[in-house]
Chain A
């Protein structure tokens, strides 16, 4: 019987080809949209992880409570010992020191008098040690516009726009006026090694990147840093692995009675990142729901049209003695077949598109030029294992739901009218 029904399904293109095309198109869109959203949010998360939050972040408990104020007076101390212990505890992870700072940057003229001044938003990272991966991690290679990367602790990178505003070039000296971690005033000269373009207006307006040792020196933070960022072995954030690290670290190192004891938070618990993750989960749910709803309506309609076309066939089947439930179930069986084929094709095509966008990317630099968000300028799709089966959920569900709705008419049909109905 099943073979008989499938023969009919394959031969009748209006009840196989059309619904399969509809499901294929919908699943293609769903898979591609999922991979694209996944890619965008994943890129944003990774971008933020590399710049600000790491996959995990270690601060003192007091710093963590006021982290929005970047309170360097509550910085971690004896950092080198802590990193050494962390390498023993988590040998596959990498931990890097970061200091966020602010202040005034003074550009002197040839007489040493102030030529221009501007408020600076700075970040210190390890730029000059032999095995550092920070330049690669912060994607500075592609951002360098003039000059070179720092080779000494007193050399810095300035945003290209900020350098233009201060009328300075690589090789020029600038003076950072800020405070030490103990509250004293700090005035330190730096040499501009190069200029960079972050591609993010927020950073381009007044950004500066300095080597960690230079800033530690300037801010009297020897063997101290504001934050220790930890990166998992895998390229993309894995919340389960991060949670495991977070739990074991806090159990071992955090002392609830010592506000200067280190505490670890994982990326998903970061106030901004948590929103991204919620958005990511929500976006996928919304995407699937919209697809199911829209496709169900389309396929319901297709089913109704098909039902009209098959009115005679169903009538004959009822008259011959096939039960209504049997006809209804056979139609659902057909729809499952259509759903599987359509979902399979849609997944293949959707993954194909996604792979292309994953490799090539879409440059949104022009669109985002006024953005204050730290986002990458090229968005890429990201194919995850979920993308391989995600399309089957809405693909199958919508076509079955559409058929179930349209097939209700079978139960409403009165056998007493069959002879009359089948006359035409």
Chain B
């Protein structure tokens, strides 16, 4: 295990109470992620990929084992520190975009920077850069309801990337997109991964996403059944 890696997971177990017993969602997971990876947690529903993404994203805690993300031990983080970790170092991309409907594209992207208390001029520059990355500089004043699904997801990517986080976690980011939009989005993320050295971790069972992954970690019944580096379209 690499101690200086971005993420170190050692013998991770996650159990959930079910009735009077327990359900083991993750069992003995050992993983390491380095800076700049473009990796995917792949597997069928119930395999544990979203649970693993939750724990890496400090949204949940392990039952056993250790998870170290960007120098922070997830098991020992309180709610406030977990929020700080997410706020400062992580970006999230959701299946259904989850943009704030009353705000413009610009304001949606600006929001994470407000939480970081960044100055107005720095915010403006960062938001314009992010809009440039995703090719939406002409939609600055549009509201989410005025955008297509693909455009909404590009805004969500810009929102996740605007603070240039070390890590972006994406849960089924193409599930609501058609094939053409899915490829565009994935190409964009692969490009950002390459240019900004941001680590991307996906939870997916979508073949379109899998095509772009540099590393594919297959999960089944809470265990890693395969972990392989692959040559893909993003290269």
Contact = CB atoms under 8 A, between A and B. Distances in A.
Pairing of A with B:
yes
Interface of A: 1, 4, 7-8, 11-12, 312-313, 315-324, 415-416, 418-420, 422-424
Q: 10 closest Cβ contacts across the A-B interface?
A: A321-B87, A321-B86, A416-B60, A415-B59, A11-B102, A316-B98, A12-B102, A422-B94, A323-B83, A419-B171
A4 B114 contact: yes
Contacts of A317: 111
Contact of A319 (B80, B86, B114, B172): B86
A321 B172 contact: no
Given A8-B102, A12-B102, A319-B86, A419 B53 contact: yes
Nearest to B53: A419
B56 to A, nearest CB: 11
A1 B54 contact: no
B100 to A, nearest CB: 5
B158 to A, nearest CB: 13
Contacts of B83: 318, 321-324
B42 to A, nearest CB: 16
B107 interface: yes
A315 B98 contact: yes
Given A321-B85, A321-B115, A7 B107 contact: yes
B170 to A, nearest CB: 10
Contacts of A312: 98
Nearest to B55: A416
B103 to A, nearest CB: 6
Nearest to B79: A324
A315 B95 CA distance: 13
Contacts of B111: 4, 317, 320
A321 B60 contact: no
Nearest to A309: B101
B90 interface: yes
Interface in B39-92: 50, 53-54, 57, 59-60, 79-80, 82-88, 90, 92
A324 B54 CA distance: 18
B96 interface: yes
Given A4-B103, A12-B102, A419-B54, 11 more contacts: A7-B102, A312-B98, A316-B94, A316-B100, A319-B57, A319-B86, A319-B92, A319-B94, A418-B54, A422-B96, A423-B96
B211 to A, nearest CB: 22
A315 B99 CA distance: 11
A423 B94 contact: yes
A118 B184 CA distance: 105
8 contacts: A1-B114, A4-B107, A316-B100, A415-B59, A418-B59, A422-B94, A422-B95, A422-B98
A188 to B, nearest CB: 85
